[in-house]
Amino acid sequence: MEKNAKIYVAGHRGMVGSAIVRKLKEQGYNNLILRSHEELDLTDQLATRKFFEEVRPEYVFLTAAKVGGIAANMKSPADFLYENLMIECNVIEFSRKYGVKKLLFMGSSCIYPRLCPQPMKEEYLLTGPFEPTNEGYALAKVAGIKLCYYNNMQYGTKFISLIPPNIYGPGDNFNPVSSHVIAALIRKFHIAKTENHRFVEIWGTGNARREFMFVEDLADGAIFLMNNYESSEWINIGVGEDITIKHLAMLIKDIVGFKGEIRFNPSKPDGMPQKLLDISRISALGWKAKTSLIDGIKLTYKWFLKNIWRDLK
């Protein structure tokens, strides 16, 4: 990407989009195009078409999405499927029609089969059934990845798809209903510490394994791939190791300073048994994540205290 290129970050207020904006500015990209949801509803086809026709961005980071944890996905699968399909179809289609040089679509590791061999390689996509608890979201993400792939094949576009693991960090969603696991646990443990609770209850058995990546590392990797990756094949990005939810909970408990006990509720779903990405392809390109899980959680907790907790007290 040229330093003065017109770069549109779709979803710039979200955790991933805002991190990409910060990283772009750090690297000297200052001609950024940003629109809030109030300014541009990407599920609105006519509005999205008008935006691309008038603004003509040269590069697009498509991070806008409806996201949430297990509870939110189970409660609203139709919403997760519909809204994500509409966003990605509109942005990808009009990026092609109005001459975007390159687009990066942000996928998700939940696209891989529920009982996928570990670590999950790119070629394992669509080799088995999805995890039922997030099937709507996964279907939408696979559609976006395939839409990029088919546009490249049919029209010669340069649309790439990136598959990250579970992401966390500054800007995360700490809503108790719709948050992902690290944000949810930080909030739970901090409230329990503040209110002197005897225990914290966590969904599932604690045995599920997950790979977690700090959002600033994802942003750095996304920009790296935009500048160094041309293949139509989707590519994994991650840290190369995972952790059980039980050990993650113990780690966050210690960082927050909660002294009570942890109780797991096995009547609630675990989700996929394991999600560890094979990162051989991106490693071969020379890119590697820099932030350890402990350091990343400490930075996220610090951000939570400064930006979220003060408004909840």
51 — phi, psi (to 5°)? -60, -50
**What is the structure's pLDDT at 177?**
75
98 in catalytic set: no
Q: Which residue has the tokens 């996929």?
A: 272
**What is the structure's pLDDT at 135?**
94
Instruction: Classify residue 39 by its DSSP letter.
Output: T
**Residues 6 or more apart whose Cβ sits within 8 Å of residue 1:** 7, 29, 58, 59, 102, 223, 226, 227
In this structure, which long-range contacts are made by residues 153-156, counting pairs with CB atoms below 8 Å and at least 24 apart in sequence? 153/232, 155/96
Inside any domain, residue 301: no
Inside any domain, residue 192: no
Counting the structural domains of the chain, the total is: 1
Q: Which residues form the domain of 217?
A: 7-168+211-240+276-290
**16 in Cβ contact with 214 (< 8 Å):** no
Inside any domain, residue 174: no
**Residues 6 or more apart whose Cβ sits within 8 Å of residue 38:** none
% helix / strand / coil in the chain, to the nearest 5?
45, 15, 40
Strand ranges in the chain using DSSP code E only, listed in sequence order: 7-10, 32-33, 59-62, 102-106, 159-163, 166-168, 199-203, 209-210, 212-214, 235-236, 243-244, 261-265, 274-275
Inside any domain, residue 203: no
Inside any domain, residue 146: yes
Give the residues across from 301 on adjacent strands: none
Q: What is the DSSP string of 77-125?
A: HHHHHHHHHHHHHHHHHHHHHTT-SEEEEE--GGGS-TT--SSBPGGGT
Catalytic residue among 59, 112, 137, 168: 137
Inside any domain, residue 91: yes
Give the β-pairing of 243-244 and 209-210.
antiparallel
> How far apart (Å, rounded) are the C-alpha atoms in residues 170 and 234?
26
Inside any domain, residue 139: yes
- Average pLDDT of adjacent 10-residue blocks, the chain of 313 residues: 95 95 96 96 97 98 89 88 97 98 96 94 96 92 97 98 96 84 94 94 94 97 97 96 96 96 92 92 97 97 89 62
Reported pTM? 0.93
Inside any domain, residue 1: no
- Here the CATH number for the domain that contains residue 113 is 3.40.50.720
